[in-house]
Each structure stands twice: as structure tokens, then as C-alpha cells.
Amino acid sequence: MTEHCSHSDHASCTLPSSEQVANFLDQAEVLCDRRNLRFTKLRKQVLALVCKAEQPVGAYHLLDELRESGRSAAPPTVYRALDFLLEQGLVHRLATNNTYLACAHPQHPHAAVFLVCSVCGHTQEVHTEGIIAELRRRAEQFDFAIKHASVELTGWCGRCRRSQ
């Protein structure tokens, strides 16, 4: 799970604890309840796996993990669960490498900017409304209304740069 963290060195960021994952799942449950949506067992399991992953994960990785936990699901079922989580803003999808990651702040809809390390895959979600507002303004000049905005920047994280 990506967190909003103020560490300048992300090497110090650790995996979410099981408590954090449980909190996130509780939050998701409340959110679905409020929207009158069913947070099915599979949706919950998929979200838990995405949360626990150290890096953004692909659908096939999730299928493998589900199989290991004794629940084999067909690919379309997992894709549907992921679509649901995307629609509810609980996860984001990275087009760069076709992976999914848990949203660091699912309570409100937002455009996101991601910093994706092309070496280790570490991904950080950052809130920079200023940039999105600027893109929106520029798009309007071309008579274009942005419906969904996701900016992915690829590069090298500090840890990978320093270990070269």
C-alpha cells in the first residue's frame, strides 16, 4: 500500500502492518456500505492482496496468490473485482506496467500522480492538485473536459540511485 509519507528516503518506508491492512479493509467496508454496494468476499480478498503487496501488482499475480490461498478464481472474476475497486477509488491502476495499487486516501475522489521506479517498481502516490488543475486548464483551452486524470512518472527511486 502506498502511504502518504513525509520520509525523504523511501527506503525507510516499511510494508503496511496487518493492522494497517485491517484498518484499510474496514474503511473500504464502511465506504461500500455507505454507497449501498456489496463488499463481497472476493472483492475484499483482492483488496487485501493489493494492500499487502510491497509493489503494485498485476492481475495474474493476484490470481496466483488466490490459488495459493485455496481459492481459485477465473481471470474475468478477478478483473471484475479489480474494476469494482477501481470504480470505488479503493485502488489505482498504473498504465505504465498494468498493475494495481491500493489508494492511499480513498475517502475522496482525486486525481493522482505516481512516481514509479523503473528498477525496483517502488511506487509512490502523491497529491499535487496544482499540476492536475493546470492540465485541466490547458485541456479546456482545447475544448476538452478531463474525466479521469492519472499521471505516471517513471524514473529511479532514491534507494536504487544510491545503490548503483
Site string for Zn ion, 133-162 (x = CB under 5 A): ------------------------x--x--
Stretch that binds Zn ion, among 11-19, 21-29, 117-125, 126-134 (CB under 5 A): 117-125
Q: Which of 119, 126, 131, 151 binds Zn ion (CB under 5 A)?
A: 119
- 117 sits near Zn ion (criterion: CB under 5 A): yes
Stretch that binds Zn ion, among 19-27, 36-44, 108-116, 133-141 (CB under 5 A): 108-116
Q: Which of 81, 122, 124, 132 binds Zn ion (CB under 5 A)?
A: 122
- 31 sits near Zn ion (criterion: CB under 5 A): no
Number of residues forming the site for Zn ion (CB under 5 A): 8
Distance in Å, CB of 110 to Zn ion, minimum: 6
Q: Select from 109, 103, 83 the least CA-distant residue to 3.
A: 103
- 115 sits near Zn ion (criterion: CB under 5 A): no
- 116 sits near Zn ion (criterion: CB under 5 A): no
Written as one string, the DSSP assignment of the chain is: -------S-GGG--PPPHHHHHHHHHHHHHHHHHTT----HHHHHHHHHHHH-SS-B-HHHHHHHHHHTT----HHHHHHHHHHHHHTTSEEEETTTTEEEE-S-TTS---EEEEEETTT--EEEE--HHHHHHHHHHHHHTT---S--EEEEEE--HHHHHT-
- 103 sits near Zn ion (criterion: CB under 5 A): yes
Q: How close are the terminal C-alpha atoms of the chain, in Å?
A: 26
Question: For binding to Zn ion (CB under 5 A), which residues are involved?
Answer: 103, 112, 117, 119-120, 122, 157, 160
